[in-house]
Amino acid sequence: MYRRPDGRRWSGQEIDEATGGVVTRSYVTNLRKGRIENPGYEKIRAIAKAMGFAPEVWFEEGLGEGRPTIRGAESRDVAGRLEHLFKVVRNPKTGEPYTNAEVARMTLGDLSEEDVERIRTGAVSDPTVGQVSALVSVFGVEPSYLLDRREPLLLDEELVQALRDEDVRDIARESSQLPDRERRLVLGIVRQFRVQHAGPIC
């Protein structure tokens, strides 16, 4: 799908050169032959950057569909972003932050409590595709939340909870494609509806 600018398929050697040796020719061969089923995220980021596609394309179809693409406020590394999620996403049953044990249980065996702790503290700085998939599934964010190294944006609990609603995500997704003027019109309409549904002030 993602070919070289001249239309040719990428060779292992070309990927090796384009990634500065981060992904070697032999690694590409093993990946293509299915010998490596769960590559580390540094490898998939390097290949994605070289070939010009988003890192989340690596994840199974539909995994990130409809999930908010939001960046943590504290750090650009995986541990910092994950820690930020622990701070702002609350357990709806208790209202308290999730524990490592709760997150591990919610991954249905994909991660142990020790795995979560090691990723959270940075002891594992290069989690696998499977580990990233498990974490973003629990917290309800896009894989790019953990993979994106650009300048982080603020994320608060109210925003996370709002974006868990499918209609809210659809409104945000569709309106983001509109020009500025039309987006402001949509925002004005939404605010009018909110005022109407708020009822009279007593």
pLDDT digits (tens, 9 = 90+) for 11-46: 999 999 999 999 999 999 988 888 887 788 788 888
Q: Beta-carbon neighbour count of residue 38 at 10 Å?
A: 10
Question: 191 and 172, same structural domain?
Answer: yes
In a domain, 158, yes or no: yes
Q: What is the mean pLDDT of residues 131-148?
A: 79
In a domain, 67, yes or no: no
How many angstroms separate the CA atoms of 14 and 10, rounded? 6
CATH number for the domain that contains residue 127: 1.10.260.40
Question: 153 and 90, same structural domain?
Answer: yes
Is residue 21 classed as helix, strand or coil in its secondary structure? coil
Q: What is the mean pLDDT of residues 112-126?
A: 90
Which residues have CB under 8 Å from 139's CB, separation 6+? 85, 89, 145, 160
CA gyration radius, the chain? 20
In a domain, 38, yes or no: yes
HEC string of 39-59? CEHHHHHHHHHHHCCCHHHHC
In a domain, 32, yes or no: yes
How many angstroms separate the CA atoms of 190 and 102, rounded? 36
The b-or-e profile of 114-129 (16+ CB within 10 A means b, else e) is ebbbbbbeeebeebbb
For the chain, how many structural domains are there in total? Answer: 3
Contact 132, 41 (CB under 8 A): yes
In a domain, 154, yes or no: yes
In a domain, 66, yes or no: no
Question: 190 and 149, same structural domain?
Answer: no
pLDDT digits (tens, 9 = 90+) for 40-87: 878 888 888 888 877 666 664 443 344 444 333 345 678 888 888 888
In a domain, 16, yes or no: yes
pLDDT at position 149 is 57
Residue 109: left (phi > 0), alpha (psi -120 to 50), or beta? left
Candidate from 44-48, 110-114, 193-197 with smallest mean pLDDT:
193-197
Token pair for 14: 């070309």
Give CA 62 to chain center in angstroms: 13
The domain containing residue 192 runs over which residues?
165-198
In a domain, 6, yes or no: no
Question: 179 and 135, same structural domain?
Answer: no
Indicate if the pLDDT at residue 117 is higher than 90.
yes
Question: 138 and 156, same structural domain?
Answer: yes
Indicate if the pLDDT at residue 136 is higher than 90.
no
pTM beyond cutoff 0.75: no
Token pair for 189: 């309409």
Question: 151 and 190, same structural domain?
Answer: no
User: Helix (H) and strand (E) counts for the chain?
Assistant: 11, 0
Q: How confident is the model at residue 129 (pLDDT cuts 50, 70, 90)?
A: confident
